Chains A and B, each alone.
Chain A
Amino acid sequence: MNLNATLFSQLVVFFILAWFTMKFVWPPIMKALDERATRIADGLAAADKAKTDLSLAERRATDELRKARETSNELRAGAERQGTQLIDEARAEAARIIAAARTAAEGEAEVAAQRAKEALRDQVALLAVAGAEQILRKEIDAAMHADLLNQLKAEL
């Protein structure tokens, strides 16, 4: 337990080592630590920003999607309406054409029936005259009874 000059040597060495550490060890390490802290903070901020951006983009995408769906629905409804309208129009047109055709056919049929009736009437008259001629060859004078026959023809 002797005290001697080792004590002062140790004291001096202490300050030299401490000075050396202060000069060459502490600052670079603290600098590296601070820089890393800054980088980590920046990285975290960037990650936060990216997350916000992502959610914004997602919201925008959802909006776009919804808008597109609405537009397509609208278009489809329009097309359906238009289709229905076209079909209705076509149906109406067809009905009109059919009605017109029917009217025309009926008219023609009526005219034809009239004509046939008249022809028939003429022939019936002729037949009747012919018949009567046959039957009454002798008794009836055609010229004498022409008025009567004409009256008969008009009654038919």
Chain B
Amino acid sequence: MATENAPNASQYIVHHLTHLKSSTQASLVDWSVFHLDSLFFSVGLGLLAVAAMAHLAARATSGVPGRLQAALEIMVEMVADQAKGIVHSPESRKFVAPVALTVFIWIFLMNAMDLLPVDLLPNIWAAIFGAAGHDPHHAYLRVVPTADLNATLGMSLAVLLICLYYNIKIKGIGGWMHELFTAPFGSHPVLYPINFAMQMIEFVAKTVSHGMRLFGNMYAGELIFMLIALMGAAWAGTFGSSLLWVGGVVAGTIWAIFHILIITLQAFIFMMLTLVYIGQAHESH
């Protein structure tokens, strides 16, 4: 199978896991770099989602709804119900419930990019890149924004900011400070530093796990799609290798069907945790 310029398995994987970047990443953390592919797909899908929803909402009728309006209403009611059960302030829900809806739809769409054939968009991009006079071997593209830690942590940080905002809004600066130093163990000068440390760990753990959970699921899913694609690509004309191709089709089908569950579930979990964390910010210890 190995022609001169075909990549081997590890090159294939590495190529697919390399982002389209604005510049080279100098170190593990480099704030001057943008992942253009993640930004393109997340902004594009986000705009698509809110534009479609706004379009439907603008035409929403209180009479008999059309199918699309009914679908959107089902989503809105589901989110509104969940929000009502978790965030008890109607005033906060005016912002929090739309946030949850946005998060759910947006993340679902970003996750759903995983269901496109792994090579489809990267190959199209390589063709465009090559046509523009560049080396198509250096045309990198990752199409699943939620398989990019920056995107998921960006969203979980946004949720953290909302939590901090409501902590201060509901309890006041003083009340929140008091809570930071007296909960969860109690009000005693000796316990102040321990309480504070616990609170900080809690915030960090919530935010990191929130972002990492989504990232991990989508990254792993993407990786498995790549491995399945590699198995299918191992077909080299012999009978034994044709079985690999059949295996690739079967495994790809099974994993894609299973992945429908995962992308929906992860979007739902992210939304629910968003609501739960914001709900916790409303509660005094």
Contact = CB atoms under 8 A, between A and B. Distances in A.
B135 interface: no
Given A25-B50, A26-B97, A36-B63, A9 B34 contact: yes
30 contacts: A1-B149, A3-B29, A4-B25, A4-B32, A5-B31, A5-B33, A5-B34, A6-B38, A7-B151, A7-B154, A10-B153, A10-B154, A11-B157, A11-B161, A13-B43, A14-B102, A14-B103, A14-B154, A14-B158, A15-B158, A22-B94, A24-B57, A26-B97, A26-B98, A28-B57, A29-B76, A31-B60, A32-B61, A36-B62, A36-B65
Given A3-B150, A10-B154, A21-B101, A29 B50 contact: no
Interface in B22-65: 25, 28-35, 38-39, 42-43, 46-47, 49-50, 53-54, 56-58, 60-63, 65
Interface residues of B, number: 53
Given A2-B29, A10-B151, A14-B158, A28 B42 contact: no
Q: Which 5 A-B pairs have the closest CB atoms?
A: A10-B154, A35-B62, A6-B150, A22-B98, A4-B33
B98 A21 contact: yes
B72 interface: yes
A6 B49 contact: no
Contacts of A29: 56-57, 60, 72-73, 76
Q: Give chain A's interface secondary structure class.
A: helix
Contacts, number: 148
Interface string B54-85: 10111011110100010011001100100000
Contacts of A20: 50, 54, 102
Residue from A3, A6, A24, A28 whose CB has the most chain B CB atoms within 10 Å = A6
Contacts of B150: 2-4, 6-7, 10
A8 B154 contact: yes
